[in-house]
Each structure stands twice: as C-alpha cells, then as structure tokens.
C-alpha cells in the first residue's frame, strides 16, 4: 500500500488509465528536444523521474487492458538506447517513458498527475497541500535537457543542470549521476 502522506495520483485525459506514485520523485525535468515537442504538441515536455517500484499503473475496470494501455518503441538512438513510451489507447495521453540506459527508472509526464487544489479550495493532506511532500512535488525542475532546441521565449527555470543536449561531457554525466543518486 502506498503512503497517502507522500503519494501522488494521476490519470490520462479520459481517466481509463490511472497512475499512483509512492514517495517523492527523484527529480523533475524539462526536455526541449524535438521528440518531446512532437510528443506533447508543445514547446517542451515536463516530467518527473521515479524508481520503477514507486509507480503503479492500472487500467480502470471495464476497459480492455491491451487496447487501453498501448506502447510505442522508438527506433534506437545512436547510443543504442531505446525509449519505450506507454500511452492511453483511447485518449492518447502519454503515461510513461522508459529508457534502456536507466532500467530501474521510469519517467512520468508531470501533466497527468492531479494538480494541487488552488488555495481557497480548503484541501489539506496528501491530495492537497501536504508540507514536505508537497514541496517535493512543487519544486522547480532539476534538469533541463536539449536547451539548444529551447524556444527563445521560454524563460530561465533556475534548474541545477542545464544541458545543451543529453549529458555528454564528463562533468555533465557526473552531475546527473549525483542527482539520480547513482554515485
Ligand atoms: Zn485515456
Ligand atoms: Zn525530449
């Protein structure tokens, strides 16, 4: 069972696919790459990364699992790494992305997680404004990928690690490993 004090729930647009994340995210990032632009139809993608075991994805009763939770495997990158994304077969919302280079981690779009109630809604606790756990989920992005593709009108986020592309240089990889606790 997930701890309601720190877990976050979410769903696709139509609600057929439900997600629950237990605990805090490892990091939040923006990606300005052309794949994320196409995938989201927007200027960039905003995501959280969690350990695989923190995430539960379920298909709502009454829906066929296979046709509701679909997956798309991208062609391999030059590095040989492959991204596999899952999405809702009914409303097309992106649900997860897994990369072969980080097998125990999974990326979830920030936008499918339930938003915090606006102040004045009177909500408290896990699904409302919940102190430390709340801060972790409301933190600004830790990493920005592919800033060479960043639109000129997208402002500075103050992210800890700002990369022109993927982490390539030694010090970039070292910083990334530190953020992911992989040292
Ligand atoms: Zn859906
Ligand atoms: Zn991207």
Span 5-37, pLDDT tens digits: 578 999 999 999 999 999 989 999 999 999 999
At CA 113, angle to CA 18 and CA 3, rounded to 5? 75
Average pLDDT over residues 39-46: 96
CA of 148 from ligand 1 middle (Å) equals: 32
Which of 96, 56, 90 has its CA nearest to residue 72?
96
- What pLDDT is attached to residue 115? 78
Return the higher-pLDDT residue of 77 and 50.
50
Residue 96 confidence class, pLDDT cut points 50, 70, 90: very high
Ligand nearest the Cα atom of residue 31: 2
Which helix (H) or strand (E) segment holds residue 49: the answer is strand 45-51
Percent of the chain's residues with pLDDT above 90: 70
pLDDT at 33: 95
126 has pLDDT over 60: no
**Cβ distance 97 to 112 under 8 Å?**
no
- pTM of the predicted protein model: 0.87
Pairing of strands 27-31, 143-145: parallel
Measured in Å, residue 20 CA sits from the centre of ligand 1 at 15
pLDDT at position 82, please? 93
Q: How far is the CA of 125 from the centre of ligand 1 (A)?
A: 27
Q: 115 CB contacts (<8 Å, ≥6 apart)?
A: none
């Amino acid at each position: 069972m997930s701890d309601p004090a720190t877990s976050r729930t979410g769903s696709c647009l139509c609600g057929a696919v439900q997600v629950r994340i237990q605990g805090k995210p490892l990091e939040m990032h923006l990606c300005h790459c052309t794949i994320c632009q196409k995938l989201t139809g927007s200027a960039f993608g905003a995501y959280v990364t969690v350990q695989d075991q923190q995430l539960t994805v379920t298909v709502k009763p009454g829906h066929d699992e296979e046709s509701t939770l679909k997956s798309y495997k991208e062609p391999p990158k030059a590095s040989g790494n492959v991204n596999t994304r899952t999405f809702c077969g009914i409303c097309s919302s992106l649900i997860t992305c897994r990369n072969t280079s980080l097998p125990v981690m999974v990326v979830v779009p920030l936008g499918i997680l339930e938003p915090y109630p606006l102040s004045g809604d009177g909500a408290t606790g896990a699904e409302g404004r919940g102190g430390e756990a709340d801060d972790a989920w409301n933190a600004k992005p830790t990493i920005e990928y592919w800033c060479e593709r960043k639109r000129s009108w997208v402002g500075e986020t103050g992210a800890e690690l700002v990369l022109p592309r993927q982490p390539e240089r030694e010090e970039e990889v070292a910083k990334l490993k530190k953020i992911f606790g992989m040292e």
